[in-house]
Amino acid sequence: MFEVFKKELKELLRDKKTLLFVVALPVVIFPLLFAVMAFISSQAALDADQKVNTYVIINGEYAQEFTDKVFYHKSFELYKGSKTFNTIEELKAGVTAGDIDMGIYLPSDAKQTLNDEKQSKWQVVFNDSKSINFLFERVKELAKEYSDNLQKEQLISFGIDMSAHAALLNPVDVIKVDTADKRENLGEKMGGFLPYLLIPLVLMGATYPAIDLGAGEKERGTLETLLLTPITRTELVLGKFLTLLTTSIASTTITVLSMGCWVALALAFADLDVIKTAFSSLAVTDLLMIFVLLLPLAAIFSSLALAISIYARTFKEAQNYMAPLSMGVFFPIIISILPNMELTAKTAFIPVTNVALAIKDIIKGTVDYTFVGLIFLATALIAGALLAFCVKWFNREDVLFR
């Protein structure tokens, strides 16, 4: 078995494709992709924040103070074209045609409607389909300032002292007292996304080498030679399985170490308090626990990938079979980030989802070690069953020589 393991490992290390997926991608390409994505996102947000938007206000004289604030705001520029806008429909048509970025319709005098004990309803017309859009929030902020001033003036006219305004407008102030510490809060937000990185990498570290160890052997005609050696088929499968398990764990380990180095490098050149708070509280035991949880999961993926590769007749056919496997792994991860999904005695037995939930709780610092034991036991049992199936699969002539 170990002779097969050493032979397969040597062949994989000589294969440039394997080195690319197991080493190069985790060390360089993935961190580079995340950096590019972060840069593009921040640049898009910065551009949206600095963009000057063309606007039109209908009946601006009803709230002159508000109209002046919009006029002098750095993000807005008054429309100077030849078209006229008098109704909501004309504002919609102007935004759709791209003549203006935003239209504001003031239907009535806010001061007069307040005196009449009514509410003036303003309408803001803009295209909200863009992913980053600050228009509405900025208009709301300016409108709130104007509305607060109207409230203050009205209360003063009633003879109410300014010191009583806050209590009168907001008699009950609900204060949040959070029992969760910073680590738990950040872990809830960030811990759910860490499995999106780690678990697919565990799968990827097994699938690409598996294609070569099964279907690749068939195409090269070396599978028959292996079967003629004085080694049992069970030992052959176990040797190939150990090879996939090694590459799977190696890919994940290299990725985690690489990300740690990149995060440390980023912290050395930038003051990122959120990242510092999230990762500084993680102990070595937490990282080891995550690693231990990923071991049986890597065994499950290695067994599945090897069984698929053994069944496939060609390299290309094996690649086609691996795509649904990859998609099937993402669904349990998605389940783990659904609202109110927590690690319980029931969810501890859901494959992949249980590991994703456990990783999130480890990052939060609220993990229950009993559930960790249940998860390890459940995934180990599934891995053992799949490995037994893989051995049985390999012993079938109709599978090996399709």
Which domains can be identified in the chain, with CATH numbers? 2-31+182-400 (no CATH), 52-169 (3.40.190)
Q: Are 357 and 336 in contact (CB under 8 A)?
A: yes
* 110 phi and psi angles, rounded to 5 deg: -65, -40
What pLDDT was estimated at residue 267? 61
pLDDT (0 to 100) of residue 87 = 93
**Regions of the chain with pLDDT less than 50:** 131
The structure tokens listed for 152 are 């203050």
The pLDDT of residue 54: 93
Whether the full predicted model's pTM is greater than 0.75, yes or no, is no
Q: What residue has token string 């009205």?
A: 154
- Per the structure block, which two tokens stand in for 45? 């947000």
Instruction: Give the pLDDT score at 131.
Output: 46
146 closest CA partner among 114, 116, 173: 114
pLDDT the model gives residue 282: 66
> How would you list the strands of the sheet with 53-58, edge to edge?
76-78, 53-58, 102-105, 123-126
pLDDT of residue 18: 65
Please return the burial class of 255, using the count of CB atoms within 10 Å of its CB with bins 0-12, 13-18 and 19+. buried
Cα 75 from Cα 46, distance rounded (Å): 12
Tell me the three state secondary structure of residue 103: strand
Structure tokens at 143: 């409108």
pLDDT of residue 197: 77
Please report which residue ranges of 51-161 form alpha helices under DSSP H: 64-72, 88-97, 110-115, 135-157
Query: Is residue 76 helix, strand or coil?
Result: strand
Q: Which residues of 194-226 are buried (b: 16+ CB within 10 A; e: fewer)?
A: bbeebbbbbbbbbbbbbbbbbbbbbbeeebeeb
The span from the CA of 361 to the CA of 188, in Å, is 8
Amino acid at 247: T
How many whole angstroms separate alpha carbon 337 and alpha carbon 348?
Answer: 15
- How many whole angstroms separate alpha carbon 86 and alpha carbon 174? 43
